[in-house]
Amino acid sequence: MTTKDKVIRFSLHFLTWLITWVVLRYSSIPSLTKDNLAVVWHASTVVFIQSVIVFYLLGYVVFPRFLYQKRVLGLIVCLAVLFQLIYSSNVYEFKYLASISDGSLDGKPLYVSRLWNDFLKVNEWNAWLTDFKLAYINYAWSLFFVTPILAIKVMRDTITIRTQNLRLERDRLQLEKNNLDLQSQSLELQRDNLNLELSFLKSQINPHFLFNTLNAVYAKTADLDESAAELVLRLSNLMRYSLYESNRDKVILSKEIDYIESYIDLEKARFGEKVTITYQLEGDPDRYVISPLLLISFVENAFKHGVSKSLEHAFVNIKIVLEDSTLFFSIENSTPATLIVDGKKTLDEIGGFGLQNTTKRLKLLYPERHNFSVEKRSGTFHIDLQIDLTSAPVPQITATI
């Protein structure tokens, strides 16, 4: 709270109590008691002090702790205790006022004498609990003026609390919205980056002219060298898949596996007896679909970082198993004991861009639907992948009548 706010609050409180004192001293108490000046001054002072105490005790202690927190039992106990204290103080106050009062006017007892003799003097200390009239007189004498002041404060406090709660709720919702926007933007950026990386990768390995050239080479070598023509055909299949299938969101799993098999055959021809390759396929890959070019990076990684960098005999073991809709893919390859590229590189650095890219794609394309693990040992590099696949759409057959 600023100094200006404090000054305004003090001024409002001072003005409120000044008005209350003027009304008590010069209007309410004189017209009610119709007694001498000593009675008017003493009664006005006591009621004014009671009003101030009740206002600050309830408004700044009891209500914030009990009323605003909806602690009803505590609030009732506090109000009962406070009312009892006021009642007890009024007993002593009217006993004193009766001693200095004029007593009666024209044979009729004045207010102070009548209230003392007829009610307060003859009743016990807790009589207000059973005598409604006595409780009302006690309230009207001591709490009548402070009640509207308290009511104004309670309304202001309630409005302030609700405004603060609404502001906090608005800030919370805005924060959640900002967090969701940031998460959405982050996912979109990751997806865009992966699409750019994938497009760049495909643009490097599948230019259109190369596909046409391979067909021409195959036609020239088919009659001269059957094994060479077979390799050209395999390479042509790779290019055809990259050009016409990989742009789709999903492809039949069997096409992805054909792509891998063609790649394996090319690597067999490339490395010859330097590498031992075992390949195993179990299940029906025609029944499921998968995101294209998802598994090939693992195979490429095995040959690029394992076989090609090894000076000794190497191996690559690939296993693809389908159980219901779950794909189990594992690949293990040998690695050199000490891998050196451009002066420095160790076993921990095996993997590269392709493996990182595929890991990101798995998180985006199969969230909560895949398990992926990499195990690096001295001499071997092992990858295990498990994906929950989607069934391939059943082709519709149109009957001709």
Convert the pLDDT of each residue in 17-49 to its tens digit. Answer: 999 999 999 999 999 888 899 999 999 999 999
Beta strands 108-109 and 104-105, pairing class: antiparallel
Q: Does 71 have pLDDT greater than 70?
A: yes
The reported pLDDT for the residue numbered 341 is 44
Residue 87 CA to residue 139 CA, distance in Å, equals 9
**Are the C-beta atoms of residues 116 and 122 closer than 8 Å to each other?**
no
Instruction: Give per-residue pLDDT as tens, 114-135.
Output: 888 877 877 777 777 788 888 8
DSSP 393: P
The pLDDT value given to residue 224: 64
What residue ranges do the domains of the chain occupy? 3-144, 270-391
Going across the sheet that includes 326-334, the strands are 275-282, 314-323, 326-334, 380-388, 370-377
pLDDT tens for each residue of 353-374? 667 778 888 888 898 899 999 9
Q: Please, are residues 291 and 250 in contact by the beta-carbon 8 Å criterion?
A: yes
> What is residue 104's predicted lDDT score, i.e. its pLDDT?
81
% residues pLDDT > 90 (the chain): 35
Which pLDDT band, with edges at 50, 70 and 90, does 344 fall under? very low
Q: What is the mean pLDDT of residues 393-400?
A: 59
Q: What pLDDT, on the 0 to 100 scale, is given for residue 53?
A: 94
Q: CATH says 270-391 is which class?
A: alpha beta
pLDDT at residue 15 in the model: 94
Q: Render pLDDT for 86-99 as a digit per residue (tens, 0 to 9).
A: 988 988 888 899 89
Q: Is 70 exceeded by the pLDDT of residue 212? A: no
- Which pLDDT tens digit goes with each residue over 254-313? 999 998 998 898 888 888 888 899 999 999 999 999 988 888 889 988 888 878 777 788
Which residue type sits at 257?
I
Write down the pLDDT at residue 346. Answer: 44
Can you tell me the distance from the alpha carbon of 189 to that of 328, in angstroms, rounded to the nearest whole number? 30
pLDDT digits (tens, 9 = 90+) for 51-63: 999 999 999 999 9
DSSP state of 346: -
Taking 60 as the threshold, does the pLDDT of residue 385 lie above it?
yes
Two tokens, residue 382: 């092992």
